[in-house]
Every structure is written in structure tokens, then in C-alpha cells.
Amino acid sequence: MAEARPVRNPDLAALGPRLPKPNRERLIEKGLVEITATRPAITLDLTDRGWKTCAALIGAEAPERASGPGKALYTVLSALRRYFDRADLAPADVFTALDDEVDVEGQVRAAYVRLAARAGGWVDLVRLRAELPDVTKSELDDALTQMQRKPGVSLIPEENQKTLTDEDHAAAVEIGNRARHLIAIES
């Protein structure tokens, strides 16, 4: 709901808890999500019924088995419900999809989390591009160029240029007349 767009299953891990197959199938059976099979991953989208169910959780009582963090979340959701009611808003008025440029950045960040051994670890752009098959080279180059200006994002050339393959050269992004081959994102 918070993304207000279809989300690839691997990207869910960067947004919150993983959604293993048995849990996905339960959500499908209840009519809460729809699945689209795209290679290399499936894409999940909330149905109208899923939106209604999420909306009902905003302001609902915390389940008895909820722990401290869970209870805190329900407290925040209750405050959000009061705001929605006062402002005469529906969740769809607040939870909207990000524009394409920000969305590509979000996809890059989610892919980085999947690929990096740790926050701040180096990931080569060949692997990053392979992880984002639906993003064009131009879109990804633009997003990476914008991201490298932000704190905590570094794009650097491969130090040992002799090790670069044709694939590495093709995957590189040119920033300031220098080909960059590696990305690191601090948490």
C-alpha cells in the first residue's frame, strides 16, 4: 500500500519483511494481491480488496499477541486514522506512487541491498544492471548520475582497468568524463 504500485517480490525485502511463497499464496487466495510473472522475479500488486483491508488496519486495535514494536506501529496507525478522518482523506489520497526518477532510484537502492555483502560494500554495475532488467541503460545512467551527488552514494572507476571486460565497459556510467564501474551506498 505504501508504494502504491506493483512491486517485484525481491524488492519487498528492502521495503519490509520477505514474503515467502506460502504467505503469498494465502494473500492470493484471500484476493488481497495479484501476481504477475515477469523474469527474473514475480510482481505483486494490491487488489481493491487488498487496499480495503489495509485501510481497515489503519486505526484498528493492536492484536493481543503484538509485541512492543507491533503495538507502537498500531499506535502510529491510530494517529494516522485520526488525521485521515479529520482531513476527510482516504489512504489512496496519501499513499501514491513516486515519480519515475525517484522510482528508479528506489529500484537501484533495493537492488543494491540484495547484491551488496554489507552496507557500503562495492557492487559492480554489471551485476546491478542485470538485477534491473526493466530499467533502460539511459534511465539507470540518469538515476546513478543524480544519486552520486547525494550523501552516502559513491560511484568509482575500477582501480585495475586491465581486469575490465567488454561487459564492464558497457555497464559503466560516464560521470565527469570518467567511466564509473562500482557503486557503494551507505545504509
pLDDT tens per residue across span 16-48: 777 888 998 999 999 999 988 766 778 888 898
Kindly report, residue by residue over 145-156, the tens digit of the pLDDT: 999 999 999 999
pTM of the model: 0.51
Q: Hey, what domains does the chain have and what are their CATH numbers?
A: 7-94 (no CATH), 100-185 (1.10.10)
Kindly report, residue by residue over 104-114, the tens digit of the pLDDT: 888 899 899 98
Kindly report, residue by residue over 57-84, the tens digit of the pLDDT: 999 999 999 899 989 999 999 999 999 9
The pLDDT value given to residue 134: 84
Would you place residue 12 in the very low, low, confident or very high pLDDT band (cuts 50, 70, 90)? Answer: confident
Portion of the chain with pLDDT greater than 70, in percent: 96
Give the C-alpha separation, 134 to 136, whole Å: 6
Would you place residue 99 in the very low, low, confident or very high pLDDT band (cuts 50, 70, 90)? Answer: low
The answer to whether residue 130 scores a pLDDT higher than 70 is: yes
Q: Which three cell numbers stand for residue 105?
A: 532510484
